[in-house]
Amino acid sequence: MKRSPKEETDSARLITRRMLVLGGLKLGAMGALVWRMQDMQLRQSDQFRLLAEENRINMRLIPPTRGLIHDRNGVLIAGNEQNYRIVIVREDAGDVDMVFDRLRKLVDLSDEDIARARRDVMRNRPFVPVTVAERLSWEEVARVAANAPALPGITPEVGLSRHYPLFEDMSHVVGYVGPVSERDLEALEVPDPVLQIPRFQIGKIGVERAHEDNLRGSAGSRRIEVNAVGRVMRELDRVEGTPGQNVQLTLDARLQNFVQARLHGESAAVVVMDAASGDLLAISSSPGFDPNLFVRGISVPDYRALLEDPYRPLADKTVQGMYPPGSTFKMVTALAALDAGETNANERVFCPGHMDISGHRFHCWRRGGHGRMNLVSALSESCDVYFYEMALRVGIDRINAMSERLGLGIRYDLPMSAVASGLNPTREWKQARRGQAWLVGDTVNASIGQGFVLTTPLQLAVMTARLATNRAILPRLVRAVGGEELANAEAMSLDLRPEWLALIRRGMAECTNHARGTAYSSRIVTAEHRHAGKTGTSQVFSITRAEREAGIRRQEDLPWNRRNHALFVAFAPEDAPRIAVSVVVEHGGGGSSAAAPIGRDVVLAALNDGMPPLSAYPAPQRNRIETQMRELSARLRPLDRDGVDQA
């Protein structure tokens, strides 16, 4: 049917209208698309470029080089050695178990190694590199590198690992490093990002822990390009971190090595201090342990052996061990009596071998007695009854005050682990801890360093240095950090009257140099080396009546862990003191027989900066000493400035 002109006009108008609407919509859509493309290309181009790059570029932290630790002469105590390791990145690896299975065919990895690596991988964010194995040989690393296409996410790396070239010599002082633990992270308010790197190592004990912030340094970073399977294609740029600061100690590594060798076979401690400055020249606890075992991950059998050793190699006896000081405490009681005006140089006290006090008999170590004793002879021959009498006159309060004045009962601020404060017992302490009143017998026991009194070898060395100088000497272990020497405040005077100290020093001098002195057998015959000292013996267990009836009457008859501790303190040279020394031999028996000979050898080694000269020993002893020194020399460690064993 033919349409009318009006219908054709209406139809054309409708079509035109629809075309205009559709055209407008198309133009609008095209305009929006053009605008969006322009916005993306111009205004948001940097953002989208970054998003694109993140698909192929990773940022990795570079662990900083840990600072070195040296002795006072520049000998290396703690350094870093090259370490080949393999790391894995979970997001690049894909199937982690498959990668581990392939890796085990190339590198010897135990089930424990794989379990630890898998645990670390799952605990950390996907992009964080996790160490799978370290301390690998070059051949193992080369095999992994050659098979890289089949090991997505695996990267061989060369890093640094802590190494202690002096092994057990400095183990208790320097400590060791180990992997960061959850406990370590929880202790920090704002953890350093580098601590998040799996198996990153930080100081655990000793100087390594105390100076962690100085030694660690700050991390660097690098940008690397990886392909679709996670293989590193190239390094785009690198920003090196800041190495940790070096730390220099006051210790003399050679003297420390001599002391450690001299203590071989003993459970003992020795402290050598510069009497003028307080610098610790040697602070040795025996036996030691190899800190490198902890850096590498100590095995269960090795750790159990250390824990079960009756000589307790993991304990630092120099600052953690607390012992009754025995007769080395008698200088404190003597000074307390002089300070109180209760005695003088001329007064004599009769020693019949015992003293009866409050219905109890207190014995002197010499059962037959010493006869009439003045202060000097009482120190020289270690007469107990003389000091019982002084204790009754002055009381515990004055003894306690003098003990603290001489540096006992104080926890010193040293960068070592678990430094103990010892114990200066008071009336209040006993009432609070024991719920008992202080008794006169407690004062009598304290006067000879028994009863409740406890000291550390470090404190005994401080006491000896103060007696030698009349100054409040404080111990110092760190000499410099980052090349800048630390300030050492001048020690204040103790304000002890010179004539009192002259009596004390004379008594100590006669102890080692008078024929009736308890340390006379350990005397030094060369005038320039002669030392003044005091022996001590602290009772661990008394021999019971049943044991006496069974024939056990001597310390040597008791099991080792029930014998008395042996102690010795000394300063030298006698006329111009340069060093102070303390020695404690656990269960060594008597101070004169076990501790004093060690003290003499250490004094001579310190004053001679090497092996003791044979001429310093009494002629009748020289054959025996020569043999002993020959055996000791075989245990010494020849060192260069890098701390490398040159033997």
Q: What are the backbone angles phi and psi of residue 203, rounded to the nearest 5°?
A: -65, 135
Are 218 and 225 contacting, i.e. CB atoms less than 8 angstroms apart? no
Q: Spell out a b/e string for 100-121, using b for 16 or more CB atoms within 10 Å of the CB, else e.
A: bebbeebbebeeebbebbbebb
The secondary structure of residue 541, as a DSSP letter, is S
Are 52 and 138 contacting, i.e. CB atoms less than 8 angstroms apart? no
Strands 247-249 and 69-70: parallel
Which residues neighbour 176 within 8 Å (Cβ) at sequence distance 6 or greater? Answer: 162, 164, 203, 204, 205, 206, 208, 291, 292, 294, 295
Separation CA 471–CA 390 (nearest Å):
24
Compute the residue count for the chain. Answer: 647
Which residues neighbour 259 within 8 Å (Cβ) at sequence distance 6 or greater? Answer: 270, 272, 282, 284, 602, 605
Give the residue numbers annotated as catalytic, written as ranges. 327
Q: Where are the strands (E) in 374-489, listed by range?
A: 478-481, 484-485
**Alpha-carbon distances of 574 from 29, 232, 407, 468, 578, rounded to whole Å:** 103, 69, 21, 9, 9
Separation CA 475–CA 487 (nearest Å):
13
Paired strand residues for 158? 84
Strands 268-274 and 280-286: antiparallel
3-state secondary structure of 464: helix
- How many other CB atoms sit within 10 Å of the CB of residue 28? 10
DSSP characters over 118-153? HHHHHHS-TTS-EEEEEEE-HHHHHHHHHTGGGSTT
The secondary structure of residue 454, as a DSSP letter, is B
Are 329 and 453 contacting, i.e. CB atoms less than 8 angstroms apart? yes
| Residue 85 amino acid letter | R
User: Looking up tokens 């929880």, which residue turns up?
Assistant: 186
Nearest to 618 by CA among 494, 491, 525, 504: 525
Paired strand residues for 282? 272
Q: How far is CA 413 from the centre of its chain?
A: 13
Nearest to 291 by CA among 416, 171, 161: 171
| Residue 76 amino acid letter | L
Burial (Cβ within 10 Å: 0-12, 13-18, ≥19) of residue 57:
middle
Are 224 and 234 contacting, i.e. CB atoms less than 8 angstroms apart? yes
Which residues neighbour 149 within 8 Å (Cβ) at sequence distance 6 or greater? Answer: 229, 231
